[in-house]
Amino acid sequence: MPNSETVTDYERLQTAVEAAGVGTWDFNPITGELQWSNRCKELFGLPATAEVDYARFLEGLHPDDRAHTDAVVQQALDPKGAGSYDVEYRTVGFEDGGQLRWVRATGRAFFDAARTKAVRFIGTITDVSESKQAESNYSFLAENAPLLLMVTNAAGEATYANSSLLKFTGYTLAQLQESWAGVVHPDDLRPLTERWQHALEHATAYQAEYRLRRHDGQYHWYLNSTQPQLDSDGRVVQWVSTNIDIDARYRAEQQLTQQQEEMRRVTELMPQMVWVTDPKGYHTYFNQRWIEFTGYTVEQSQGTEMWNNLLHPDDQQRARTIWTHSLETGAPYEIEYRFKSKQGDYRWFLARALPMRDEDGQITKWFGTCTDIHEQKLASEQLRWSDERYAMASLATNDAIWDWNLETNAITWNKALERVFQHKPNEVQETAEWWYSHIHPDDAERVTNGIHAVIDGGGKSWKDSYRFRRADGTYAEVIDRGRVAHNDEGKPVRMIGAMQDVSEQRRAAAELRRREEEFSTLADNVAQLAWMAEPDGYIYWYNKRWYEFTGTTLEEMRGWGWEKVHHPGHIERVLAFVRDAWPAGKAWELSFPLRGHDGEYRWFLTRAVPVHNEQGEVVRWLGTNTDVTDMRQMQERLERAYNDLELKVTFRTLELEREVQSLKQQLGQA
């Protein structure tokens, strides 16, 4: 018989095991008696009072796992085997609605002295559902991520490659295990191998750009990131290598470099004086025309003052004012002024400059030109002013303006055709056919039919959207509109229009839609109920989890419809709280019960945070509702257990006090 101390140790051990969420079992192969701990029964969806045997155990397994699990048990009980037992299987809850759980069971068989038969079989069972889900998620991500993934062991031998990598290379995992060098471009193999060897020797991560051969023999540029996975002692367990397709970016960078070099050559050959400044107006570059005209080198001309000092005294302040305004506001710069030549005379120039911006809209530099207009200036003052207004209007709208003579079929364009679409004037044919030929084939018939329907039908205005081919062969998304002029007889004789490049706006709109779709996908798949509200608390959006839990629709919940799913006993408390919380404009949290679609109430912890604009004003609220029912129930059980224990200690103390008083009385009588 175990003594009281032994029983206490056993109970302590059993309590620790139960607290860790581990179930225990004890099977007598001879008698067939099977004992399960309460946790073990819980993982099979059974109450603590349930009776179990081996047949009941097999019945509680997923049908697909029964035969395999039974075979593993029989193998462990075989005296010829090692007697160990380690298996993962799914349980189907008997009395909890058939809840499916993944568990891992481990154990050991004990045999008689002659090792002829098993006499006892004991072990543990652990819920591994979360780790199984994590493995499933990892596998899903690895197979569906837009990248090529390979995992190797600590020695660098491939153990896994996702389907994207196998499909791209046309290799099998066995071929990659034999040698991955065959899919790397010969010129990249040596440096990549050296990086890999260094990483293996020093357990360090690295990144490298290299060309990877596709199954059809074509090479694509990839960014490789290789990271070691370390154990708790800092030893490499495995290597994870990801490859992101950067082929388009790499080729674009190469093309950009080439274009920059071509632009440098073009600026040196341009008849205008070309200059570049930083965002603050510091001149960093002048082309050869500047040097030839002024007699100053680039080094002598760099800075913020040299150019202004070469202007005619009557033009210096005006030029400084306009240039300062452009620098401060980012507005296009355009001015006519007189520059002093190296011979000492002044000539009129038309100066123009536009800011170049990064993806965030910040100015990175100014690109400007100075065009000699001296002869035109002297020839006709009136014409100069007319041309200037036309040019400034063109720059202000950045539209390609066209003028179509409907009687001769000739079309003339302003300089924006070159600036925006890169078509050089000497390459542009001033005919309607040239314009038609640069409309995307899928749009050409619709556009030409539409404009001629307006012209031939006596219409006055026309507008359409289509794709227009740039000089480099790519297509720009444009909005084109025009006005038809008629003679006294009502015959259409002229049409003037403006074509605006809206490619960036369309791209930005598409990017916004993509981000909104990503946000909706993310929000609909988080575990919490989520919502968004106006500054005054008017809720206009819920995620999918809300509708799944409450069984409601947006029409029912919009605004303050959420009151319908609140518990009647708590709604007034909630309303009083939020009436103060919305105007305060500070993050808040509150707990309350919500009614589910099944009519049952569950407790939720709601957290809300305000989103502010640049002026600090609340523009919307973001909120989540986290189910805390189980946590509250556990807390209540702990509180009841603590109160019961405290009451027992009080009663025991009173009994001991009565016994002490009785003993004192006995001793006093003695």
388 and 478 both lie in a single domain: no
Domain assignment present for residue 552? The answer is: yes
Using CA atoms, how far residue 192 sits from 175, 197, 211, in Å, is: 19, 9, 10
**Average pLDDT of the residues in 366-390:** 75
| Average pLDDT in the chain | 85
CA distance 322 to 351: 11
Residue 634 has pLDDT above 90, yes or no: no
Domain assignment present for residue 3? The answer is: no
Residue 124 has pLDDT above 70, yes or no: yes
Residue 47 has pLDDT above 80, yes or no: yes
Residue with tokens 């008997």: 94
**Average pLDDT of the residues in 501-529:** 72
162 and 237 both lie in a single domain: yes
Domain assignment present for residue 183? The answer is: yes
Residue with tokens 């036309």: 390
Q: Is 320 in a helix, a strand, or coil?
A: helix
- 133-166 residue pLDDT tens: 766 666 666 566 678 888 889 888 888 888 888 8
Q: What is the model's pLDDT at position 434?
A: 93
Q: What is the model's pLDDT at position 663?
A: 73
Give the pair of three-digit tokens for residue 164.
Answer: 């994207």
Residue 211 burial (CB count, 10 A):
20
Question: Which residues lie below 8 Å from residue 509, measured CB to CB, with a gap of 6+?
Answer: none
Of 226, 245, 264, the domain-final residue = 245
- 318-343 residue pLDDT tens: 999 999 999 999 999 999 999 999 99
376 and 473 both lie in a single domain: no
483 and 590 both lie in a single domain: no
Of 194, 229, 245, the domain-final residue = 245
289 and 359 both lie in a single domain: yes
Cβ distance 56 to 155 under 8 Å?
Answer: no
Domain holding 363, by residue range, is 273-392
**Average pLDDT of the residues in 523-538:** 83
Chain length of the chain: 670
The sheet that has 118-127: what strands, in order across it? 34-36, 22-27, 118-127, 100-111, 84-92
Residue 334 Rama label (left phi>0; alpha psi -120 to 50; beta):
beta
**Phi (first) and psi of residue 96, to 5 degrees:** -125, 35
Of 59, 93, 128, the domain-final residue = 128
Least confident of 59-68, 533-542, 625-634: 625-634
Domain tally for the chain? 5
Domain assignment present for residue 351? The answer is: yes
CATH number, domain with residue 225: 3.30.450.20
DSSP 106-144: EEEEEE-TTSSSEEEEEEEEEE-HHHHHHHHHHHHHHHH
Residue 4 has pLDDT above 60, yes or no: no
**Average pLDDT of the residues in 469-486:** 91
pTM of the model: 0.33
- 65-118 residue pLDDT tens: 999 999 999 999 999 988 999 999 999 999 888 899 999 999 999 999 899 999
Per-residue pLDDT band for 6 (boundaries 50, 70, 90) equals very low
- 541-593 residue pLDDT tens: 998 889 999 999 999 999 999 999 999 999 999 999 999 999 999 999 999 99
Residue 235 has pLDDT above 60, yes or no: yes
Domain assignment present for residue 422? The answer is: no
Beta bridge partners of 333: 353
Dihedral Cα 573, 577, 579, 583, nearest 10 deg: 180
Cβ distance 351 to 369 under 8 Å?
Answer: yes
Cβ distance 141 to 165 under 8 Å?
Answer: no
Most confident of 15-19, 430-434, 501-505, 642-646: 430-434
Domain assignment present for residue 620? The answer is: yes
475 and 534 both lie in a single domain: no
Beta bridge partners of 477: 467
Beta bridge partners of 590: 606
Domain assignment present for residue 222? The answer is: yes
Cβ distance 276 to 365 under 8 Å?
Answer: yes
124 and 153 both lie in a single domain: no
Per-residue pLDDT band for 518 (boundaries 50, 70, 90) equals low
**Helices in 295-342 by DSSP H: which ranges?**
298-301, 306-309, 313-329
Cβ distance 417 to 470 under 8 Å?
Answer: no
Cβ distance 402 to 409 under 8 Å?
Answer: no
Domain assignment present for residue 149? The answer is: yes
Q: What is the model's pLDDT at position 395?
A: 58
382 and 282 both lie in a single domain: yes
Cβ distance 280 to 327 under 8 Å?
Answer: yes
287 and 189 both lie in a single domain: no
25 and 81 both lie in a single domain: yes
- 458-473 residue pLDDT tens: 999 999 999 999 999 9
Using CA atoms, how far residue 570 sits from 523, 583, 602, in Å, is: 27, 21, 13
**Average pLDDT of the residues in 616-627:** 89
Residue 524 has pLDDT above 70, yes or no: no
Q: Which residue has the higher pLDDT, 475 or 652?
A: 475
Q: Is 538 in a helix, a strand, or coil?
A: coil
447 and 553 both lie in a single domain: no
Q: What is the model's pLDDT at position 5?
A: 46
Residue 14 CA to its chain's centroid (Å): 47
DSSP E strand stretches across 487-543:
492-501, 529-533, 539-542
122 and 25 both lie in a single domain: yes
